[in-house]
Amino acid sequence: METVELKVEMVGIHEKRLRKCLSKLRGIEKVEVDAYSQKVVVTTAAGYLHRNKLLKAIKRGGLKADFWSPQNELLSAYASASYGSLIRFNNFNF
């Protein structure tokens, strides 16, 4: 088994569209979607499906996708930390 981590821009109903694009490919065993951090983990049968074909299928479905990198992990952690501080900062009582 091989796992491929992807960063996919998802808003609203894009998860359903993503799963539909991936259902057309053979060799996919499991798809895990984390809409909050826009991370998709696809588990494939070893040597059956190439990473670039997976990315091409998602882009063909009209979604913006790229391979997940450690930089994306840092950006999502920073965004969640700053968003949390903004919520606390803007909590005024008038």
Q: Are 18 and 33 in contact (CB under 8 A)?
A: yes
Taking each helix axis from N to C terminus, what angle separates 14-23 and 51-60, rounded to the nearest 10 degrees?
A: 130
Q: Are 29 and 22 in contact (CB under 8 A)?
A: no
Q: Which residues are within 8 A (CB) of 8 and not within 5 positions of it... i.e. 6 or more apart?
A: 14, 18, 38, 39, 40, 58, 63, 64, 65
**Per-residue pLDDT tens for 70-80?**
766 666 665 55
Domain range 1-68, CATH architecture: 2-Layer Sandwich (3.30)
User: Strand 2-8 and strand 65-67: pairing?
Assistant: antiparallel
- pLDDT above 50: residue 87: no
The overall pTM is greater than 0.85: no
